[in-house]
Amino acid sequence: MTAHRPLPASPLIYEINTWPWLAELTARLGSDEAGVAMTLGDVDDETWDGIAAGGFDAVWLMGVWRRSPAGAAIARADDPLMEWFTGALPDLRDDDVVGSPYAVREYVVDEHLGGPEGLAQARRALADRGLALILDFVPNHVATDHAWATAHRTWFVGGDHADLTEQAGSFTEIAGHIIAHGRDPYFPAWTDVLQLNSFHPDLRAAQIATLRSIAQQCDGVRCDMAMLMMTDVFAGTWGERAGPAPDTDFWPAVINAVRAEHPGFTFIAEAYWGTEAALIDQGFDLCYDKSFYDTLRDDPGSLHRHLGPDDHPGPDDHPGTDDARPTMLRFIENHDEPRAPVAFDGRDRQAAVAFLTLPGARLIHQGQVTGRRTRLPVQLGRMPDEPVDPDRALFYRALLDVLRDDAFGSGAYRLCEVAGPDGVICWTRSGRHRWTIALNVSGTAAAAHVVPAWDTGDDVSFLAPRARVVDVFTGQRLQADADGGIGLSLSPWGWSVLRCGTGGPDVW
């Protein structure tokens, strides 16, 4: 039985786009004169040390599995995709188009990335530094040249020749059989992949075997578009083509079977459409919190309503879980979303303070801490050169240093009372130290009076009358009121991260 490194209650996860990351390391650190690219087995200790120094608990190496040559050819023949590629990488070369990591040809580490041994070396390097390894699992579809397409055609959603004409782009012919392309029901089909049939019992057995193999190589999986495999979603997408629904939903059957052999293995769901709670009930440890991202980006004024106690409780009182752990994974960018400085139109630093100081899992995307602005299409194997944004780099260095306090990994969380404009929201985290985080989610300067709430029966006597409060970003020192309240002045879209204590030498 493989031993897995467990994730803490509120893990900090670092997503690396593996292929272009290695290309960047090759260009920065140099390779031999033959132009051989670095592999996972070649990554030097200094690079791994630098990742570990960020305080991360896990690394998600996105896109390590064998990619599809057929998928890469499909991408090169797609004019809108090629236009996007050129926009992201102006000096695009033909060999930069390496195919989508979500059009998996085989769950074996791609030779270009170092193969299975290269991954094993990377896992050992991470484990030596106390970090877990997360990899991808794509349950909904496989590449068009995957071996199953010819060896097990009944494992796929099928069609007929009329479908090729009437639903052009949604079906394809493989070895004389018509098979549906993979799809999300709200978007056109993905033409580089084939749709697996969630209801087929042999397919489920094969997926379990695949996951058991993956579980021997890492500590957890991020499951792509996990909600598509749920019985009600799958039936709604494919109707009679899927056949009769089995008695057991896909994820409980699969997760329980894998955990029987790998009890410490972590399952993370990419989830949308309000399916998060159902997927947690079906066995996932963590689910994407896309509604939090959308609220923070598009309607920050309603963030307080999103942070109600039932939606985002502290780690000691989360409903519906046996181990009382937070179950949401939050982010302000990942490989599917625009870069944060672009998506948040300059509000990304406030957004980072919000998602990183709340309870739950937190995801930081490669390039986020240096202020990258170009979203790289996943089909590309090289990133454009972008200068480091010094202001954002310094900001993230300071914020990651704050996050090392156990208050943010396992400490209590409480929303606070705020007297002042509706745009000011505030919460506390408490562990070895006590922290107050305040945001002004409006474009108007705001003065507010906040009363910190702690996991101590709301006893704030430690704050008064000698209390000292310091804003760790500005260095400003504040004096708490007699009742423990704190007066704040926040700029438009401003924030304060306050460390609170008595002001004695044991604190400062």
Q: For 472-499, how does the pLDDT look when each residue is reduced to its tens digit (9 = 90+)?
A: 999 999 888 877 789 999 999 999 999 9
Of the candidates 378, 376, 363, 407, the residue with the CA atom closest to the CA atom of residue 497: 407
Residue bearing tokens 């040390």: 49
CATH topology of domain 12-144+192-402: TIM Barrel (3.20.20)
Question: What 8-state DSSP symbol labels residue 168?
Answer: B
Question: How far is it, in rounded angstroms, from Cα 99 to Cα 508?
Answer: 52
The pLDDT of residue 461:
47
Residues 36-65: what's their mean pLDDT?
96
Residues 6+ apart with CB under 8 A from 317: 324
Closest listed residue to residue 229, CA positions, set 161, 139, 357, 147: 139
Determine the pLDDT at residue 305: 79
When comparing pLDDT for 458 and 419, which is higher?
A: 419
Q: At what angle do helices 348-357 and 390-402 cross, to 10 degrees?
A: 10
Predicted confidence (pLDDT) per residue in 167-199, tens digit:
989 999 999 999 999 999 999 999 999 999 999
CATH superfamily of 412-501: Golgi alpha-mannosidase II (2.60.40.1180)
What is the per-residue pLDDT across 382-417, written as a single tens digit (0 to 9) for each? 999 999 999 999 999 999 999 999 999 988 999 998
DSSP state of 143: E
At 31, is the pLDDT very low, low, confident or very high (cuts 50, 70, 90)?
low
Query: What average pLDDT does this structure show over 7-36?
Result: 86
Two tokens, residue 401: 């240093």
Q: Is 283 helix (H, G, I), strand (E, B) or coil?
A: coil
Q: Do domains 12-144+192-402 and 412-501 have the same CATH topology?
A: no
pLDDT at position 325 is 62
The pLDDT confidence band at residue 28, using thresholds 50, 70 and 90, is: confident
Domain segments of the chain: what residues?
A: 12-144+192-402, 412-501
**pLDDT mean over 272-294:** 96
Strands (E), 318-467: 328-330, 361-365, 412-415, 417-419, 424-430, 434-440, 446-451
Structure confidence by residue, pLDDT tens digits, 77-103: 999 999 999 999 999 999 999 999 999
- Residue bearing tokens 């509000």: 347
Q: What is the mean pLDDT of the chain?
A: 91
Rounded to an integer, what distance in angstroms lies between the CA atom of residue 329 and that of residue 269? 9
State whether residue 265 is helix, strand or coil.
coil
Indicate the SS3 state at residue 196.
Answer: strand
Cβ atoms of residues 367 and 72 within 8 Å: no
CA angle 350/365/324 to nearest 5° reads: 75
Distance of CA 300 to the CA centre of its chain: 20
Other Cβ atoms less than 10 A from the Cβ of 256: the count is 13
